[in-house]
Amino acid sequence: MKLSHLYTNDDSVFTPIKFRKDLNAVVARIQHPSDDDKSSHCLGKTLIIDVIDFCLLKTVGTKGHFLKTRDDLFGDLIFFLEIELGSGEFVTVRREVRDSTRIAFVRHQERHLNFNGTPDDKWDHAAVSLAASVRMLDGYLELTAIKPWSYRKGFSYFLRRQEDYSDEFQLRKFINGNHKDWKPYVARVLGFDERAIIKKYEADAEESLIKSQRDEAQSDVTVKVSDYEKLQARILAKGDEVSAKVSALDRFDFNPQEIGLNQELADDIEGRIAELNDSIYNAKFDLAQVRKGLESKVDFNLEDVRQIFTEAELAFPDQLARDYSELVDFNRRIHEERQVGLAKRATELEKSLSSLASEMFELSAKRMEILQILGGTDSLEKFKRLQKELDRDRANLALMEEKVAKLDAIKAFNERLRDAKDRKEELAIEIGELITNGSERYKGIQRVFSRIIKDVLHRTAVLYVNQNDSGNIDFHAEYTDSGSDEETQERRGTSFRKILCIAFDLSVLINYSKDRFFHFVYHDGALEQLESKRKLALLSVVRTACAEHGIQYIFSAIEEELPTADDPDNLCPSPDEIVLELHDGGEDGRLFKVETF
């Protein structure tokens, strides 16, 4: 896939660009260097990327793309992008700005044709929806090297804006996304089987989901899974109690229940009430002591001590005064810390007393109810009260059974969680083996990458892949010290980091030059901030890549950045390699020959 021809329905607004198969330069010239109101930096050399992206069917909203911001300037424009296919044929994409979701396609044999004004019936496909158009263009391009991904997944790596030079592997459009959105793709490009990597991210997501569901289920239950068997035993016992009470009430025999109530009153309720009384007494006593502590103060006046020494006609040394002051400050800090602790303890005791009082009230009511049952002589009234007691037991039994059901669900989540963790570990091992074994493609990209850095910067740089602590894949490109092989900090520099990105793109294109893959790259401002000799070295590498591997290299530059004065080998672009000239002389010099927007 290469770019061939970019034009619109109005040449007076947008100058057609006929791309060459090899080196292409977009150059901005400064015609008014002394005029501060004019600049070569706002002419549109970067906007070309956005135009190409639009023609390659980027989804755009009403405000998400500059073409959509000014309907009065761009609304009537129709863009055409001619693309060279791997078969040697061409396909032209037509996309209107105003009606940007209706696309047209035509396939043809010749280069640099112009289909402006061609009626719809002469196109192979017209009025195709955006989603269908992406699939259709993907079929035209037939980039088998990255299947099953669409061409839209990775072509942005070969349309590098200035902000895309911050990371070789993670483009700006992926910054706010998840690693699963781009790392498997990059791994595939580097020559790895991405399936295990994708499955690992899916396993990570599954584990996270199960853990969240398990925690949510656990929040609804006051008991833990470790209490499961104990709860089952209580259900069994309570079920037998309920059955016995039902049978006794059916026979109008109150004796078993009265015996049970007596036992509950003696063993459980009275004993617990006694414990609560002790706890309430101790809590009230502790709270009283804490409140006394909160009322205490540190009372020491250094002037009173001075007065005593004066009255005794004794000298009061300054050092002693300082010692007293430091001691007082120390005691004051200790007191303040103690006050904070006491206040916290008082709050805890008050909450505890409230809880204890609530439980005491419930138990007292329960005791009163049992005593009324045991002391009553009216059989019908006793039956009603015992029936109410039975209803409460049934409700408690149902509550325990509901807890068991929730614990069963939590146990099932725990089992699924164990399986997910095991799956993650298996996939992490598989990814580790992939990295260890590598591939010829991976080694080829590594070699070319290091060679490009050496040729351009005379530095040693390495590109490699490893596993992070989560068992997922990480990508690295870094400069190293040739003697120690330790990483240097040179990649922190803007220009050196940019060269890493350029080297990565070129090394990938070179290694895919014989495959159905992208065979073009656009580097915005590729020569900026480089020394002349580094610029020439980069241009030499680029020309070799174009000549030997059939790569289409497009770059933008300000005229003053081209090292023409230091170029005996004619590495700088020749006039016919400059496919678009921009200048600061007015609207005619901008990419879009309209008012500033």
User: What whole-number distance in Å separates Cα of residue 448 and Cα of residue 72?
Assistant: 48
Tell which residue, 232, 166, 90, 140, has the closest CA to residue 516. 140
pLDDT of residue 205: 92
pLDDT of residue 124: 96
pLDDT of residue 355: 82
The residues with which 29 forms a beta bridge, in sequence order, are 583
User: What whole-number distance in Å separates Cα of residue 183 and Cα of residue 189?
Assistant: 10
Task: Report how far apart, in Å, the C-alpha atoms of 251 and of each of 23, 245, 441, 451 are.
Answer: 103, 10, 87, 97
* H-type alpha helices, 296-317: 302-311
**Residues of 67-88 as b/e, b for ≥16 C-beta within 10 angstroms?**
bbeeeebbeebbbbbbbbbbee
pLDDT of residue 264: 47
HSE, side-chain direction, 13 A CA sphere, residue 361: 6
Tell which residue, 98, 78, 103, has the closest CA to residue 13. 78
What angle (nearest 5°) sits at the alpha carbon of residue 137, between those of residues 133 and 139? 120
pLDDT of residue 302: 59
Whole-model pTM? Answer: 0.70
Q: What is the pLDDT along the chain (597 residues), one digit of tens a residue?
A: 999 999 999 999 999 999 999 999 999 987 765 544 444 446 788 899 999 999 999 988 766 688 888 888 888 999 999 999 998 999 999 999 999 999 999 999 999 999 999 999 999 999 999 999 999 999 999 999 999 999 999 888 899 988 888 888 887 777 767 889 899 999 999 999 999 999 999 999 999 999 888 787 777 666 565 665 665 666 566 565 656 555 555 444 444 544 455 554 445 656 567 677 778 878 788 878 878 777 776 565 656 666 666 666 555 566 656 666 666 676 677 777 777 877 888 888 888 888 878 777 776 666 666 555 555 444 444 455 556 665 666 676 676 666 666 667 777 878 888 999 999 999 999 999 999 999 999 999 999 999 999 999 999 999 999 999 999 999 999 988 766 566 666 656 688 889 999 999 999 999 999 999 999 999 999 998 899 999 999 999 999 999 999 999 999 999 999 999 888 899 999 999 999 999 888 888 889 988 776
pLDDT of residue 211: 87
pLDDT of residue 266: 47
Evaluate whether 4 touches 20 at the Cβ level (below 8 Å): no
pLDDT of residue 77: 94
Q: 138 Cβ partners below 8 Å, 6+ apart?
A: 150, 151, 152
Q: 308 Cβ partners below 8 Å, 6+ apart?
A: none
User: What are the chain's domains?
Assistant: 1-142+576-597 (3.40.50), 219-412 (no CATH)
pLDDT of residue 255: 47
User: What whole-number distance in Å separates Cα of residue 182 and Cα of residue 439?
Assistant: 20
Task: Report how far apart, in Å, the C-alpha atoms of 146 and of each of 374, 521, 546, 552 are.
Answer: 83, 17, 22, 19
